[in-house]
């Protein structure tokens, strides 16, 4: 018996896979009246042979971890919906978010235990970047932003930074070249040219001698 294989719907979640980091904007809310900014680190990985994605989320403010979350994404073929089950350091029961892809946007919504609705969406802006938006609604019709984030894949960002640092270092070394070093380099270049001229002259004389002997 052949085991089931993930389909195209599951493979769409591959855009989330990887280690991500970014900056978040927190809008004032009952949980955070002042709002502010935060740094986030997200790790998404395949589990169950590609049928689900596990997310580990960590938010920091002023250098201190203030919030952690754990999510599981999967595709429900019975309802043709994507599902995310969510647990976090606020405690309470797990949340269940459901929704679909609309182009490059995955939007999932859930009723809130205390009343109202919550909606999360991921806008996949590229292979190594995506935007995140969390919204709240009292009635499921009118929505207000609660949190916005912009994330980049950590590995690719690191590689770009390394290339930029290498280029900057090379430029700095070139600018630091002293006049003495430049003069030495010029003398070395001049000696090489003279040596090449002499070698060329001997080669031509030798060729002429052989020609006369013949």
- Taking only the tens place, the pLDDT of each residue in 7-33 is 999 999 999 999 999 999 999 887 778
136 and 207 inside one domain: no
Q: Is residue 211 part of a domain?
A: yes
Q: Using the structure block, give the residue that is written with the tokens 């949190």.
A: 147
Residue reference for tokens 């949340």: 95
Burial 185-208 (b: 16+ CB within 10 A, else e): eeeeeeeeeeeeeeeeeeeeeeee
pLDDT confidence bin for 211, thresholds 50/70/90: very low
Lowest-confidence segment of 52-56, 132-136, 145-149, 191-195 by average pLDDT: 191-195
pLDDT computed for residue 91 by the predictor? 84
CA–CA separation, 11 and 134 (whole Å): 24
Distance CA 153, CA 155 (A): 6
Indicate if the pLDDT at residue 122 is higher than 90: yes
User: Does residue 20 belong to any structural domain of this protein?
Assistant: yes
Which CA distances in Å does 156 have to 96, 162, 197?
Answer: 31, 10, 50
The total of structural domains in the chain comes to 2
Clarify whether residues 149 and 207 are in a common domain: no
Beta bridge partners of 38: 24
- For the cut 90, the answer to whether the pLDDT of residue 52 exceeds it is yes
Q: Quick one: pLDDT at residue 180?
A: 57
Q: For residue 167, name the pLDDT band (cuts at 50, 70, 90).
A: low
Q: What's the confidence (pLDDT) of residue 165?
A: 53
The answer to whether residue 170 sits within a structural domain is: no
Q: Are 26 and 40 in contact (CB under 8 A)?
A: no
* pLDDT of amino acid 114: 79
| 101 vs 123: CA distance, rounded Å | 10
In a domain, 110, yes or no: yes
CB count in 10 Å sphere of residue 151 = 23
Containing domain of residue 191, as a range? Answer: 177-214
Measure the CA–CA gap between 189 and 208, rounded to whole angstroms: 29
Q: Are 102 and 202 part of one and the same domain?
A: no
Residue 121's beta-bridge partner residues? 107, 133
**Domain-embedded: residue 166:** no
C-alpha 104/C-alpha 38 separation (Å) is: 25
pLDDT: which is higher, 171 or 154 = 154
Q: Is residue 194 part of a domain?
A: yes
User: Does some domain include residue 3?
Assistant: no
pLDDT in tens, 78-116: 999 999 999 999 887 889 999 999 999 999 999 987 789
Task: Tell me which H or E stretch contains 66.
Answer: strand 64-76
* Residue 188, phi then psi, degrees to nearest 5: -60, -40
Is the per-residue pLDDT at 59 higher than 50?
A: yes
């Amino acid at each position: 018996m052949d085991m089931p294989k993930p389909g195209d719907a599951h493979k769409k979640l591959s855009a989330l896979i990887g280690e991500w980091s970014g900056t978040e904007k927190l809008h004032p809310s009952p949980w955070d009246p002042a709002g502010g900014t935060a740094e986030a680190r997200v790790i998404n990985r395949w589990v169950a042979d590609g049928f689900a994605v596990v997310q580990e989320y960590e938010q920091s403010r002023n250098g201190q971890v203030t919030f952690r979350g754990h999510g599981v994404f999967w595709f429900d073929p019975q309802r043709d919906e994507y599902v995310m089950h969510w647990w976090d350091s606020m405690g309470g029961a797990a949340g269940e978010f459901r929704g679909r892809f609309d182009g490059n946007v995955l939007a999932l919504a859930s009723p809130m235990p205390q009343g109202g609705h919550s909606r999360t969406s991921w806008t996949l802006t590229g292979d190594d970047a995506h935007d995140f938006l969390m919204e709240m609604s009292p009635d499921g019709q009118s929505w207000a932003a609660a949190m916005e984030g912009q994330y980049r894949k950590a590995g690719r960002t690191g590689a770009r930074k390394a290339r930029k640092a290498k280029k900057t270092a090379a430029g700095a070394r070139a600018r630091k070249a002293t006049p003495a070093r430049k003069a030495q380099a010029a003398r070395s270049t001049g000696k090489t040219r003279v040596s090449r001229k002499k070698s060329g002259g001997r080669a031509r004389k030798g060729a002429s001698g052989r020609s006369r002997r013949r």
